Structure 1
Amino acid sequence: MHVVATAGHVDHGKSTLVRALTGSDPDRLEEERRRGLSIELGYCWTELVAPDGRSLGDVAFVDVPGHSRFVSTALAGVGPVPVAMLVVAADDPWMPQAAEHLAALDALGVRHGVLVVTRSDLADPAPAVARAREELAHTGLRDAPAVTVSGRTGAGLDDLRAALAGVLESVPQPDPEAAVRLWIDRRFTVHGTGTVVTGTLPAGTIRVGDTLCVGDEPVRVRGLESLGRPVESVRGVARVAVDLGGRAPEAISRGTVLVSPDAFEAVTTLDVRLTGDLTQRLPERPVLHVGAAMTTVRARPLGDRHARLALEHPLPLRLGDRALLRDPGSRTVWGVRVLDPAPPPLGRRGSARTRAAALASYDGALAGQLAARGLVRADLLRRIGVPTEPLPAGSVRAGDWLLSPERAARLRADLVAAVDRLATPLQPGVTPAALAHELDLPDAALVPPLVAPPLRIEEARVRRDRAPGLPPALARAVEGLAADLRDAPFAAPDAGRLAQLGLDPKTVAALHRTGHVLRVAEGVVLLPGADEEARDVLRGLPQPFTTSQARQALGTSRRVALPLLAHLDRTGRTLRLPDDRRQVRG
């Protein structure tokens, strides 16, 4: 199926043209027929046959109101449709609503269409064609074929069908496997069925039985119709009516969107590139039109061609989406191309200028997204329309997290410094959780993939690979201790001297565990082997001996002698007798 939207000034013959092409009346309301004025969106369809007799399948026409009071309704019909017929009357001058509709089509990125000059039976169409051509020359429809017709007499309709056939054959086919995003343009209730919604499906496939979502609320597709016929599935581009049954959310209305579960990010802030008349000042509260939705936004300019939009209501938008900003007062419109549906916050002075410079060269590919974000969840990128494969060289994946090559390289260097900062002789390894906290990373799972020489993971901790021996600072501390004990090996330095040497309790505990010092008690530190040397000295005393005799033989104080003798007892080098004397074992 193909879908074509009409556009143009009120009373220029859009509905008459659709009626002539399809044989059906797009004006379904009694008031529309009575006033001869389209108020709501109208839908008709027909089979389109090429001039050579080939069938191009069904073409659905979305007929939009041309009156200025119904511009929001018109934009709801045009928004999701890839092809347009711009209708201009031969017996009328170029009119404001035609200009506004053309600006909207250009802003929305519509590049496929036909210029149709109607009422060729009432006036020479050549001036209207020439003027319209001038207006189209600066838009994406500059190459659109022009056809003159009369909806009343039928003159030129075969030429219009031929032009439409040529245009529709050049429209790229959408991906039937794409995620569904159906902008609802009408809701009504059918007795015995329940809620039915209609819209233009731009891509993807909807099947009976599918579960779609309205916001966070799931809804079930209980039935489908396309072009008035019940079907089991519909693939875009297509007009579709979806039966949601009797339990559809009450909030569903025009502008609501049905989406595939877990496929889109509902965004409230986005950075965009603007097109159109950039000499006009962007109002603070313009209206954003996207798909069939309309919402007021707060706009903050970022340089001359970019802006940040804060939406009143969340919408499922993706990178590259096209939309339209409209100033309801001046009726000025700007085209919007979504560059970042999940932008970083703007904080300190100058951040807007910095962000504008970044947006000037913003890249929608994965490499560009990683470079811009540094660290991001793959699921977020997928939801905003960025493919997450293949991963650029040098990037890091950790679960759902992705790191850019530049960020990963910086973090590897920071990781080495963090291990050096946090590791101690008592615990030379650092947990990934502690390192994640130190480096302000959101998940400890990011740490292991960043570990590279000179770091390694051992016993679930990150350690630095070192040559045999102690770090220089610790080696100097041990050397200082050895110098103090060289002439008096059992005269352990006091707490003040240990502090001067840099031997705090944790460091001493680690050095004791690695065999670089002998800690016989808290604050009593000797050199390795001092206990063996003490046993040899005590063996020379008459056995058994008293504590006082041992202290004098070792040449130390009671502060050292008592814990040293207790250590010799514990390690089986001496035996303590009932009368509190000791003797050397063996």
Structure 2
Amino acid sequence: MEERYFTIGMAGHIDHGKTSLTKALTNVDTDRLKEEKERGISIELGYAPLQLEDDVFVSIVDVPGHERFIRQMIAGVAGIDLVVLVVAADEGIMPQTEEHLEILQFLGVERCIVAISKMDRVDEVMLELVTDDIKERLSGTVFHEAPYIVLDSLSGTGINELKQLILTELKSTDFRDAYGSFRLPIDQVFTVQGQGTVVRGTVYEGVVRKAAQLMVLPAGIPVKARQIQVHHEEREQARAGQRTAINLGGIERTAVKRGDVLVDSEHFLVTDTIDVALQVIGRKFAPLKQRTAVRLHIGTSEVMGKVVFFDRNELERTQDEVLCQIRLDEKIVVRRGDRFILRRPSPMETIGGGWVIQPNGGKYRFGQETIAMLRHQQQGTPEDLVADALSKSLLLDQQQLMQQTSLDDGILNETLAEGLASGVWLEIPRQGYSLTKTFIKIKNELLARLRQFHEDFPMRKGMGKAELIQSAGAAYPKPLLEFSLNLMMEQHELQRSGQFVAVALFEPHLPKKWRARMEQIVGSLEKDGFQAEKWEAYFAGSPLPKPEIAELTAYLLESGQAYQLREDTLIHRKAFDQALNLLRTNTGSSFDLKQAKEILNLSRKYMIPFLDLLDELNFTRRSEDQRYWMEEEL
């Protein structure tokens, strides 16, 4: 059963019980800071793990409710799959609740559970009034069909019911798959003594593995994932939907900050000009004039910039979507479709939100021509739509592409043909289509894994093909991995020997660290010839670790430099070849044990295993007391 990972947020007004509810669900107190304890409010983002079933894992984000900490709230809810809107029964909907609701909708959160907390403080009449008020407030939002639950965090009333309700909602939610390039917007940075720089965030997409080579954007600083933790437990990897902390090698604490993005590929765009589709808040606000300074919140980034309109000189309350541009004071990392919040820096208020049409905006003329161009970009060209679909799902057949792009059969066929001709995507026989850049990413990852394997196990022929596919199976569909491996072999970047796969031109060899000692042992085996001691005797007093001894044994046998004479004895190939040639030269088409003993002058201890080895290697065939040379029978 495939494990599924989700992130849910606790949102609502200050002191409505979000932190208490999180603790009741998870037994984790998310108020960590001393000032949070003293003041009784959440300042920084708090996180807690919740496992609902064997295969359903949840990270709960407890976001600050106070207006002054709204930026932390935005960073926390960016990327959540479900929100639990906490409303205190004795206060009802408050101004901060309203703003949280607006932000959640602008960020594309579609699923909500309303948790009416502190039920013990009101009677049934008041509870009914508060419930009706909340339903009225939500009636014009995407949350108008949200389920409700009444609970008390301190007594535990309603907590189990809430867990079941969360599970029900998440089971009907598309969970984030791990396909695609890894991306983690950073929301916390700190240092651990003796470990160095650690970053935290929610994995938006892809998979990150221990020892992976990553990059901190927008600065473009290469780093290495030295250690990965998911809710304080060390893991070999973290995937989309999981809350994770990564210990980074190769970067100082001062060189990374909240809002930076950790990625594993060069396919992410760094930009300071974005074309957007903006929806403003539903209540009245002071008009936003042309080129007014604004504060953009996207992912965990918070950047100042100027808003540029092409069809008006100021923006007032409207139900229409506004196509415009935001020119930023700093570089950010975004993709088409990323959601954002726009706020006025002074006085601090939310203006609206929307999504990124074009991450790499240009300079355009004022007028309807530019609006028409932006609207065309908003809708996307057929190639854009196919590329976007393949970026998210990595491998899709024609039927799936039609469903996800809404293109008709004729236009899709034409688009696919053009993309194949230009090399933008590849066709995987009987499976579908994938982006060429996805293949390049897979190729680089597989080569990196194999090079690391060769470094760790230099005496092996290579890595098992099944093992290699399994190691990348969490991030990529198996058919795409199979196709990529075959294509890499066709392009002579990989070589295959039976079930083993290796980097082209790789040859098994003794490890540099132990080469001298291993060569000494092999030399002693060669010198002893057919008087070889038990194999373990050659390592007596040697500092070679047991795993290296096992690797050397397998290497000598697989490369044909030695033969297994008995269970505990090896002989060097030189001794084997000498005995074989001597016996072949001095016998006819067949021979018996007595003849062999006279020719080779070996004791029965070595003679019987040697003759059995000849049979096993198909040099001879035994029939009663005679052995026949195989080539003599041909």
> TM-score, normalised to structure 2's length?
0.57
2:14 equivalent in structure 1: 10
Relative to its length, the structure with more helix (as a share) is 2
Q: What CA distance in whole angstroms lies between the structure 2 residues aligned with 1:158 and 1:370?
A: 43
Letter in 2 for 1:331: E
Identity percentage over the alignment? Answer: 34
Summarize the Cα distance change of 1:150–1:296 in structure 2 as closer, same or farther, 3 Å threshold: same
Q: Number of matched residues?
A: 386
* Residues 320 and 338 in structure 1, CA contact (< 8 A), matched pair in contact too: yes
Q: For residue 231 of structure 1, report the CA deviation from its aligned partner.
A: 0.5
309, 316, 320: which one aligns with 2:337: 320
Q: Deviations over 1:318-376 (max 9, x none)?
A: 111111111232613312111111234214xxx442121233343555526499xxxxx
Letter in 1 for 2:373: A
288, 306, 310: which one aligns with 2:327: 310
1:296 equivalent in structure 2: 304
1:580 equivalent in structure 2: none
Letter in 2 for 1:11: D
Deviates more, 1:330-339 or 1:90-99: 330-339
Letter in 2 for 1:129: T
What SS is found at the alignment partner of 2:369? helix
What SS is found at the alignment partner of 1:272? strand
2:192 equivalent in structure 1: 190
Q: What CA distance in whole angstroms lies between the structure 2 residues aligned with 1:297 and 1:115?
A: 35
Q: For residue 397 of structure 1, report the CA deviation from its aligned partner.
A: 8.2
* Residues 186 and 198 in structure 1, CA contact (< 8 A), matched pair in contact too: yes
119, 125, 128: which one aligns with 2:127: 125
Q: Deviations over 1:294-322 (max 9, x none)?
A: 11121012336111111222222111111
Q: What CA distance in whole angstroms lies between the structure 2 residues aligned with 1:401 and 1:225?
A: 36
Q: What CA distance in whole angstroms lies between the structure 2 residues aligned with 1:335 and 1:27?
A: 29
2:62 equivalent in structure 1: 63
342, 357, 365: which one aligns with 2:360: 342
Question: Could you say what the CA RMSD is over the residues aligned between the two structures, in angstroms?
Answer: 3.0
2:213 equivalent in structure 1: 211
* Residues 366 and 391 in structure 1, CA contact (< 8 A), matched pair in contact too: no
2:42 equivalent in structure 1: 38
Q: What CA distance in whole angstroms lies between the structure 1 residues aligned with 2:241 and 2:413?
A: 29
Q: For residue 120 of structure 1, report the CA deviation from its aligned partner.
A: 0.7
Summarize the Cα distance change of 1:394–1:227 in structure 2 as closer, same or farther, 3 Å threshold: closer
159, 162, 166: which one aligns with 2:161: 159
285, 292, 300: which one aligns with 2:293: 285
Q: What CA distance in whole angstroms lies between the structure 2 residues aligned with 1:168 and 1:12?
A: 24
2:30 equivalent in structure 1: 26
260, 263, 268: which one aligns with 2:267: 263
* Residues 221 and 251 in structure 2, CA contact (< 8 A), matched pair in contact too: no
2:377 equivalent in structure 1: 362
2:223 matched to 1:230? no
Letter in 2 for 1:270: I
Q: What CA distance in whole angstroms lies between the structure 2 residues aligned with 1:397 and 1:309?
A: 34
Q: What CA distance in whole angstroms lies between the structure 1 residues aligned with 2:102 and 2:391?
A: 31
Letter in 2 for 1:339: I
1:94 equivalent in structure 2: 93
Summarize the Cα distance change of 1:317–1:227 in structure 2 as closer, same or farther, 3 Å threshold: same
Deviating beyond 6 angstroms after TM superposition, the runs of 4 or more aligned structure 1 residues are 387-391, 396-402
Residues 98-497 of structure 1 mapped to structure 2, 5 A cutoff:
98-123=97-122, 124-215=126-217, 216-245=220-249, 247-248=251-252, 250-277=254-281, 280=285, 281-282=287-288, 284-303=292-311, 305-328=322-345, 329=347, 331-347=349-365, 351-363=366-378, 365-367=380-382, 369=384, 392=415, 395=418
Q: What CA distance in whole angstroms lies between the structure 1 residues aligned with 2:73 and 2:385?
A: 38
Q: What CA distance in whole angstroms lies between the structure 2 residues aligned with 1:370 and 1:39?
A: 40
Q: What CA distance in whole angstroms lies between the structure 2 residues aligned with 1:90 and 1:366?
A: 49
Letter in 2 for 1:120: M
Runs of 5+ consecutive residues of structure 1 not aligned to the other structure? 50-54, 372-377, 403-586
Q: What CA distance in whole angstroms lies between the structure 2 residues aligned with 1:264 and 1:59?
A: 27
Which protein is bigger by CA-based radius of gyration?
1
* Residues 196 and 253 in structure 2, CA contact (< 8 A), matched pair in contact too: no
Q: For residue 12 of structure 1, report the CA deviation from its aligned partner.
A: 0.5
